[in-house]
Chains A and B, each alone.
Chain A
């Protein structure tokens, strides 16, 4: 157990819908990262937040958005869902000033778009 929590574990929805994925980082971690992993594919970095501010952006679609709240939990919003958005979505967090920026991953949310 990494200490990072994600809800829900599974989500099944229809094309065109909107969903929100939630992540709580490990206690004390300020950075939150979001990743998408399609079946048998590598990890695709979406976005990073640090203490409430967006720090880095990867290949995140305009239909996707995220934010980090004052209590440091983060939400990833996916809208106008398409079949190709079906994937595992991971959240990771890393501690401040530990010199390595090691990322610890949550269990993921499996999104199925029908």
Chain B
């Protein structure tokens, strides 16, 4: 079957750095996405990785290792507004998006 694993919940401190991991087992791979979702709101696109390595976009970076079926989202200089759920999703061989259950990130002052 197809599976995406992420931690259910993480807590971090304002101003710090946090890394949210995602491991996947899918039938084929055509890219990995990270989305941010605030409670009661729509998911918003953060990043897309299809090749191995690190993609940096401001305070957020996303890393991919296809051989290990592994990705992480790195958030630096955490702000209270970063409190949200972070969703990892993988496009499989049929370009069907397989979604993880999401990681709820709690930022404490």
Which positions in A face B, CB cutoff 8 Å? Answer: 2, 33, 41-43, 45, 56, 88, 90, 100-108, 110
Q: Which residues of B contact A106 (CB under 8 A)?
A: 42
Q: Which residues of A contact B94 (CB under 8 A)?
A: 56
B residues 20-49 touching A (CB-CB < 8 Å): 30-31, 33, 40-45, 48
User: If the complex has contacts A100-B48, A100-B50, are A42 and B42 also in contact, measured as CB distance less than 8 A?
Assistant: no
B96 located at the interface, meaning its Cβ lies under 8 Å from any Cβ of chain A in the complex:
yes
Which positions in B face A, CB cutoff 8 Å? Answer: 30-31, 33, 40-45, 48, 50, 87, 91, 94-97, 99-102
Q: Which residues of A contact B30 (CB under 8 A)?
A: 101
User: If the complex has contacts A100-B31, A103-B97, are A90 and B91 also in contact, measured as CB distance less than 8 A?
Assistant: no
Residue among B42, B50, B95, B100 making CB contact with A90, cutoff 8 Å:
B42
Q: Which residues of A contact B33 (CB under 8 A)?
A: 102-103
Q: Can you name 29 A-B residue pairings with CB atoms under 8 Å?
A: A2-B44, A41-B101, A42-B87, A42-B100, A42-B101, A42-B102, A43-B43, A43-B87, A43-B102, A45-B97, A56-B96, A88-B40, A90-B43, A100-B50, A101-B30, A101-B31, A101-B95, A101-B97, A102-B33, A102-B48, A103-B33, A103-B45, A104-B45, A105-B42, A105-B43, A106-B42, A107-B41, A108-B41, A108-B42
